[in-house]
Structure 1
Amino acid sequence: MKHFEVNFDGLVGPTHNYAGLSFGNVASLSNAASASSPRQAAKQGLMKMKALHDLGLKQGVLAPQERPDMATLRRLGFSGTDAQVLAKAAKEAPAILAACCSASSMWTANAATISPSADTSDGRVHFTPANLTNKFHRSLEPAVTGRILQAIFNDDRHFQHHKHLPDNDHFGDEGAANHTRLCSHYGHAGVELFVYGREAFNAAAPAPKKYPARQTLEASQAIARLHGLDDDTVVYLQQNPDVIDAGVFHNDVISVGNQNLLFYHQDAFVDTQAKFAEIRRKFGDGELHFVEVPRDQVSVAEAVKTYLFNTQVVTLPSGIMAIIAPTECEESDAVRTYLASLVEQDSPIKEVHYMDVKQSMRNGGGPACLRLRVALNDEEVAAVNPSCLLDDALFNRLNTWVDKHYREELHVADLADPALLMESRDALDELTQILGLGSVYPFQLD
């Protein structure tokens, strides 16, 4: 039996904009109110997917959410026709309208937490959508995310879907952005690492003071229970509160793992050495690589600015590992120099590939934010909705779809345009047919 890590990247939605909605995300706030290009953003994402496909990796596609979210606007008291609802919201509560138009589902590292069949008690792949309670605009996503995941992974012989955790900050869950997995091979049982920012039921525990800790220990523990994980193969690490206050809003902005490698910043965690000893003990026999980036070579501020750790670390068909980095890493003298030296070191990472995802980066999401990792064996791959797996034909068809439906430029003021709503719905209706998803959006279910 063969085993793979399949990256499912989020398609950027037609309302991609810079409204500065994410407190704690430095890039998001610094680019607020700038003009965006939904078409360029979607094509940059597609080019990254195609590049990984061309490197010999399996690549999937996740559909975006329906935006503007008219159902939420109506739930909040805006009434009338769709055009009237948008006009009232724009006049009376523009911040709420901006939140209901966010294209943030593009960052599918936050879509869900996934445990592969090799780790779970019932031998199935488990999915739990993230509740994303810390940000209103993201808290609107879980129900539709769950329907999309069920439409892609729709064989209950191989896949088990759970409802997202309770919608409360005590169980704030940000998905795979705070979860990684270490293993000797993708098909072997591994150690699942859950990184959290605070303990919700322990006010005396360390926590950041400036920016919110979006992932709680209690949420991570609940996911492990739901997925049937053995305590002997789970490790809970606390993220350093000081780096959260420096703009590290998710763990994947300060560390990333792949197979038997954990790539992390010196200041990433609390009680690092004790936790690494626990990882080594639970990992068992086999080579394990901890690659630490010293603060005197790359500061936390530079790591946040360039998203050095929001890179993808992938295993190529040749067996070596490669880093998929945003071009911002190449443009930084410190980070470029570090990465050039890294491939010469005694670690599995031997290549660096730079990708242009600037439209995403300006909103605070790098290559790793754009993908959801799913470890699958060949039988499970065969059970995945095949229309959602990228090949040259789907790549070309999606590019044509983007050209047909997406605007070249979008300003925050354009979010109230009723024509944008219709353009978005037309685009998504066609997309569900391309990807074979059926009816997953509220406007399709009415």
Structure 2
Amino acid sequence: MEDILIVKGGTPLYGSIRVSGAKNAGLVLMVAAILAEGETILDNMPRIRDVEVMTFILNELGVRTEWKDDNSLAIYSPPGRIKTKTSYELSRMLRASNLFLGALLGREKEAAISLPGGCDIGSRPMDLHLKGVQALGAEVEIEHGYIYACTKRPRGNNVYLDFPSVGATENIIMMAVKTPGNTVIENAAKEPEIVDLANFLNSMGAKIRGAGTDVIKIEGVSELKPVRYAIIPDRIEAGTFMVAGAISKGEVLVENVIPTHIYPVIAKLQEAGAVVKETESGILVKAGDKIRPVDIKTLPYPGFPTDMQSQMMAMLCLAEGTSVIVENVFENRFQIVDELKRMGADIKVEGHTAVVKGVKKLYGTKVRATDLRAGAALILAGLVAEGETVIEEAIHIFRGYENIAQKLNHLGAQITVK
């Protein structure tokens, strides 16, 4: 299994790079496809490990999947009943497996969901998901690592989320679209991936209004029809490539990107001294003369994304001055700090705050990808480190980035997959 990346540092990146479909939109759309009987085709689907695992879970439930071409995935949801229990073995590999809770309750009125896995970036409790489905009439029990839920008389209801959880918002939407009556989600997550889910379901015949705001209104329907739908571009992959251009002292045109989705990243890159321009074909990032220190606070969308925090930290290790990063979303996001320090970074962590003191250079060494975004950040650090950086446990990176080594090598990087 390809599990090691070797990055040779010192080459500025030049050229254009195309962003794949959004991992976090693609995964939830794959799950939502079971709400309609027949063949749904999802275009712009990234060929990544997480998507592969999600196809295995769908197959296990009795839903057929087939790649029509490189990035078009057909999902055939059969008429009649499908299985309603997800396996522990597959669920522990994929956080998004918890999205079957809302979709299976919407379709089959019952679900048995293995408590999910994914990256170890902190506790991502299911309490808001359960609160949401219970408000719509589900009875829930948790036993032996499984959530068992069933509903005899589902009904629309008002749900207030204590925190704008993306997963909880998605689960409630998927249950509510097939639940009689009106459902209102207050303090809903506003992420672009939520908007994409709503647009997808509406194209199937759902009645959802307000996605992208903190109040989402859903009128339940009895039937949804299969469709063909193109997934939005991955804003985190776009942000990662933008940082690659800035950190490597190069000039990179990032194509297939929706600028409004990454305004906070654009703003921080500009503050750090990079030149960022929107063009007709994408976003052009040109490195500044030096990297300036900036302060970052991660927040739910439209704030600065927690999924871009590690990549910015890697860049700020080389800033002329001291930056402060406050992580407000996931408490374990700072696992990357020890790996960057092995490369010569000067970072101190206290609670949810990291103080990054810029150094003159980073040095290649052996490091470990502790999670998906940390792995991407180590590639960025490796691009500018002196010598070779060997990234172990790179499987985390392949979970969420499609052909990342090939794409960066096209810009002049020297990355080998082993």
Fold match by TM threshold 0.5: no
Determine which structure has greater relative contact order: mean sequence separation of CA pairs < 8 Å that are 6+ residues apart, divided by chain length: 1
More helix by share: 1
**TM bin (shorter chain):** under 0.3
